[in-house]
């Protein structure tokens, strides 16, 4: 009997961790493991806002997959997934087809603009390494343009950020660090640069308690970030956002949308039943009605039965999905019972720049300022270590002094 083929789609947190765990739990004789990814590198999704702001180099946020996953143990395919043919147990790639016995879909997210007119055409997105690097280059270009222009238009220096969730707030936090550096570099008065965050909800970061949210808003405002909360974006144009009942135009030279994400469009293309772009998986992380297909990471809604809603789609959740998924694939191969996913909430941390942040950790302990910023680096370094071991941690780890 031929050994089973396990195919993992996507090399984000969930896909990389699943691959690593399977290589630890199964010998080469027990299963063939294939990892498919669009690029030959994995990137730290939770660092993309720093790449976009220019506070870290894009190479720090990415790691060559073959430096972490042994290509002699795992077959690495760099190609784009087009569709999953569930009936014939095949994955349709841009350049080939791939059969599977067990499939793990961990294709990550794409930006969701919620149908806001003009957002797709005129805004930039913190979606991957390339898009984030483009934002960084665009921001610096606006400073150069302003510096060299005879007719100074301060709108060119305005950075408009839509959305006040994790990505939006962490991005403006990094901009609060980067803008003074750019002003010094190009000899521009800091007062000419505006960073404006627009959010339809009445506050920011709804996953945190009010006292931490108030701290975050005050900290960012002290460093020059302006908030327009409770402000609906009606339209995005090449000039900026049109907002509110009076259709006010907020002009900007840089427009970034961070207001939402959804699962990979491959899910819908492949005939999975989706809710808001994701698959609501069974408790063992399999797609409903499928014996051998798992959906994890940003592609999955994993229900928190106690709360009656899905667990938040965080990096720690994705890596925990991977542990359960790998265990269950091994169980299927050996005809053992499957386990249900149990989320171990290790806390929530948001950075507000290099030396500032807010956090709620085990037992409900709240942190703000430098202790929270330190905790954020601990969380990031732990993820690096889990995926790539000591070598990846030493190469990429955030051991930045305060």
Each residue of 278-314: pLDDT tens digit? 999 999 999 999 999 999 999 999 988 888 888 888 8
pLDDT greater than 90 at residue 400: no
Q: For residue range 183-235, what is the model confidence (pLDDT) as tens digits?
A: 999 999 999 999 999 999 999 999 999 999 999 999 999 999 999 999 999 99
Sign of CA dihedral 323, 325, 326, 332: positive
Chain-centroid distance, C-alpha 60: 16
Average pLDDT, the chain: 94
The residue written with tokens 């150069």 in the block is: 144
Section 10-27 average pLDDT: 97
Active site positions, annotated? 170
What is the per-residue pLDDT for 399?
A: 59
What is the per-residue pLDDT for 234?
A: 98
Distances (CA, A) of 364 to 180, 213, 361, 391: 35, 15, 6, 33
Q: Residues of the chain with pLDDT > 90: what percent?
A: 86
Lookup: tokens for 344 = 């171990």
What is the per-residue pLDDT for 401?
A: 39
Section 159-173 average pLDDT: 97
Buried b (16+ CB within 10 A) or exposed e, 183-200: beeeebeeeebbbbbbbb
User: CA–CA separation, 6 vs 27, rounded Å?
Assistant: 13
What is the per-residue pLDDT for 393?
A: 78
E-strand stretches of 246-376: 248-251, 254-257, 261-263, 279-280, 293-295, 300-301, 303-304, 309-310, 347-351, 357-361, 365-368
The model's pTM: 0.94
Q: Bin 353: left if φ > 0, else alpha if -120 < ψ < 50, else beta.
A: left
Q: Among 5-9, 305-309, 379-383, which is the least confidently predicted range?
A: 305-309
């Amino acid at each position: 009997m031929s050994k089973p083929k396990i195919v993992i789609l996507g090399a984000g947190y969930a896909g990389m961790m699943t691959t690593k765990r399977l290589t630890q739990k199964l010998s080469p004789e027990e299963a063939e493991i294939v990892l498919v990814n669009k690029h030959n590198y994995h990137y730290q999704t939770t660092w993309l806002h720093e790449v976009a702001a220019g506070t870290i180099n894009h190479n720090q946020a990415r790691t060559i997959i073959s430096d972490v996953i042994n290509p002699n143990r795992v077959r690495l395919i760099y190609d784009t997934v087009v569709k999953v043919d569930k009936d014939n147990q095949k994955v349709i790639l841009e350049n080939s087809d791939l059969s599977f016995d067990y499939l793990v879909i961990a294709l990550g997210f794409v930006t969701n603009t919620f149908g806001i007119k003009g957002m797709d055409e005129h805004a930039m997105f913190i979606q991957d390494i390339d898009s984030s690097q483009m934002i960084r280059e665009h921001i610096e270009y606006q400073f150069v343009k302003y510096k060299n222009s005879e007719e100074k238009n301060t709108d060119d220096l305005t950075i408009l950020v839509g959305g006040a969730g994790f990505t939006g707030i962490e991005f403006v936090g990094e901009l609060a660090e980067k803008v003074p550096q750019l002003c010094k570099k190009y000899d521009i008065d800091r007062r000419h640069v505006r960073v404006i965050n627009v959010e339809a909800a009445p506050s920011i970061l709804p996953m945190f308690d009010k006292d931490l949210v108030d701290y975050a808003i005050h900290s960012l405002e002290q460093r020059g970030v302006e908030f327009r909360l409770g402000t609906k974006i009606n339209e995005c144009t090449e000039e900026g956002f049109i907002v509110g009942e009076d259709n006010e135009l907020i002009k900007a030279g840089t427009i970034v949308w961070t207001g939402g994400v959804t699962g990979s469009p491959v899910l819908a293309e492949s005939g999975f039943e989706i809710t808001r772009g994701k698959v609501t998986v069974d408790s063992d992380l399999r797609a409903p009605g499928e014996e051998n297909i798992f959906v994890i990471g940003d592609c999955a809604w994993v229900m928190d039965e106690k709360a009656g809603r899905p667990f938040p789609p965080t990096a720690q959740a994705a890596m925990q999905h991977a542990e359960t998924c790998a265990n269950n694939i091994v169980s299927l191969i050996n005809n053992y019972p499957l386990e249900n996913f149990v989320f171990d909430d290790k806390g929530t941390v948001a950075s507000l720049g290099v030396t500032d942040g807010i956090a709620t950790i085990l037992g409900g302990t709240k942190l703000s300022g430098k202790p929270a910023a330190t905790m954020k680096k601990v969380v990031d370094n732990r993820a690096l270590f889990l995926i790539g071991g000591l070598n990846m941690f030493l190469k990429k780890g955030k051991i930045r002094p305060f």
